[in-house]
Amino acid sequence: MAVMLHPLPACVEDVSVPKQFTYPFCYEPHPHCVAAADEVRRYVGQHEEWKEELQRGKMFGVLIVKKRDGMGFFAAFSGTLDGKTQHEYFVPPVFDLMAPGCYFQEEETAISDINRRIALLESTLQVSPLRKKMDEELAAYREFMQQSKAKRDALRRSISSDEMGENEQILVRESQHQKAEYKRIKQDWERRVYEDETSLRAKQEEIARLKKERQERSQQLQQWLFRQFTFLNARGEEKSLLDLFSPAIPPSGAGECCAPRLLQAAYKEGLQPLCMAEFWVGASPTNEVRLDGHYYPACRSKCLPILRHMLEGLDVEPNPLLANQEELLSQLHIIYNNKELAVVSKPSGMLSVPGKDGLPNVQDAIKSAIPSAEGPLIVHRLDMDTSGLMLVALTDEKYHELQDLFLHRRIHKVYHALLEREMPVGQEGEVDLPLRPDIDDRPRQMVDKVHGKPALTRYRVIENRDGHAFVELSPITGRTHQLRVHCAHPLGLNNPIIGDRLYGMPDKRLMLHAYAITIEGQTFTDTMNYVL
């Protein structure tokens, strides 16, 4: 199938070309991408046969490329659409698992056949009916032995040791005989059952053999598949999934997202990528927060190793999260310090604890500002994008004391947030949605009523400002991204916080501020980094 390159809409003809390619893990979509995404949404909306699937939600992507006579864009969808990996409007997959005659399909069919054979054999497994008779006879004989033992014990209690004499030897021999008889009866039954279950054992052995074959074929197929997914970069270099994730095993679905598909198409066509964006169409999934029309960064667990390779040779924007880090240090303020406890105001964009990138963070900054501080220091954290108050222990004893206060919920926090849409002023209530990490797309969190940890947030709408709800949020529990998910999720407030690049729309910053914290009757408020 030929790769379709679409013309850019006329509305962005005069918009300047981006100077650098999109940093795919944190970005604001370029106007060219927004216009192209609108074209894709119009196109998919014309296909009635896709309507039901799109209502359930799907990720799409666009890539703006430079061509000889101007610019154009490629479009992609993640995974499959209408049960197919290819449609004429979209770029093809990096490797087509569903191509007719594909070895993958043949092996999948063979493995499915093995599964059916295992299921059929397991449905016919039946133990010998002699087992029930054996259990009944052995149980009856054990009961007889217990009754005999009780009689012997009663006899020993009823007569003196002098009177026992030869009777003791008789009683001992009786006990030994019964034990030996029980052993003989049990062995005889086990032999009869063993002979009667010859067919059962043959089926069990066949099931074990089939399961081993299934495991071996599945592993071989997985390795074969990983070798088929090969990715180009701007230098023309090619690497497979095995190369990119080694020594780890690539996660399921790696290489099937929009971004790798789009870049692969551009490189194969010899076109220069200019900018890219991925966006959601349809309803949000039950567990994740994906809102219709919102743009999302590429997932890290599946795409980071792939895109790190595919972007080599391109002039890529720097990670915006790493910008102005030194300036952030000047915005970190210590608003209280009694030599045991410090209360600090953290700016948006600063980490709470050291990360792998060696960026400025609250913990290192406090160690530098207060050299006498000892112990773990950081008792609780704020997201990198969240501003506001943090408690910092300056002694080991205070650290454990604060841990205990948090554990028993004797420290109370109040956040202020500005949401994307208006809400009725005065509305208040609770959001109770259990959360767990999205293991395929960290650090995102997802709602999981089976495996998630309890998460409870109280909220109150204070006022509306220029079309946005200004709300007060009080977390009763302290889960990662709790307030962000509870605001954005359709079962929560269904109203993302402005600037939430993970669960809403990117903006200049996340409009979430830890405004007040109360500890042992003392309340601290933060206006130092307050921008709401």
Instruction: Report if residue 125 sits inside a domain.
Output: no
Catalytic residue chosen out of the listed positions 82, 153, 383, 432: 383
Instruction: Report if residue 202 sits inside a domain.
Output: no
Identify whether residues 169 and 20 lie together within a single domain. no
Identify whether residues 472 and 508 lie together within a single domain. yes
The CATH number of residue 397's host domain is 3.30.2350.10
For 259, the 3-state DSSP assignment is helix
Identify whether residues 342 and 488 lie together within a single domain. yes
Question: Residue 1: its pLDDT value, please?
Answer: 57
Instruction: Report if residue 118 sits inside a domain.
Output: no
Residue 80, both tokens: 């499959």
How far is the first Cα of the chain from the last one, in angstroms, to the nearest whole number? 51
In whole angstroms, give the CA distance from residue 296 to residue 504.
8
Question: Residue 441: its pLDDT value, please?
Answer: 81
Instruction: Report if residue 113 sits inside a domain.
Output: no
Identify whether residues 355 and 400 lie together within a single domain. yes
Identify whether residues 480 and 373 lie together within a single domain. yes
- Given 287, 310, 333, which residue is the final one in a domain? 310
Identify whether residues 473 and 375 lie together within a single domain. yes
Sequence-distant (6+) residues with CB within 8 A of 400 are none
Identify whether residues 50 and 186 lie together within a single domain. no
- Given 283, 310, 337, which residue is the final one in a domain? 310
Q: Is 383 considered catalytic here?
A: yes
* DSSP label of 50: G
Question: Residue 485: its pLDDT value, please?
Answer: 97
Q: How many domains does the chain have?
A: 3
Q: Is the bond into 424 cis (omega within 30 degrees of 0)? A: no
Compute φ and ψ for 105, nearest 5 degrees.
-65, -40
Q: How far is CA 430 from CA 25, 425, 447, 511, in A?
A: 32, 15, 15, 20
Instruction: Report if residue 471 sits inside a domain.
Output: yes
User: Where do we find the tokens 């056949």?
Assistant: 113
In whole angstroms, give the CA distance from residue 262 to residue 307.
11
Instruction: Report if residue 219 sits inside a domain.
Output: no
Instruction: Report if residue 203 sits inside a domain.
Output: no
Identify whether residues 354 and 453 lie together within a single domain. yes
For 346, the 3-state DSSP assignment is strand
Which residues pair with residue 507 across a beta bridge? none
Identify whether residues 55 and 136 lie together within a single domain. no
Instruction: Report if residue 221 sits inside a domain.
Output: no
Which residues pair with residue 525 across a beta bridge? 516
- Given 196, 216, 251, which residue is the final one in a domain? 196
The parts of the chain modelled with pLDDT lower than 70 are 1-2
Contact 476, 457 (CB under 8 A): yes
Q: In what order do the strands lie in the sheet with 272-281?
A: 6-7, 70-77, 58-67, 272-281, 295-296
Residue 346, both tokens: 């953290």
The parent domain of residue 53 ranges over 6-95+229-310
Q: What is the pLDDT of residues 34-71, one digit of tens each?
A: 999 999 999 999 999 999 999 999 999 999 999 888 89
Identify whether residues 173 and 286 lie together within a single domain. no
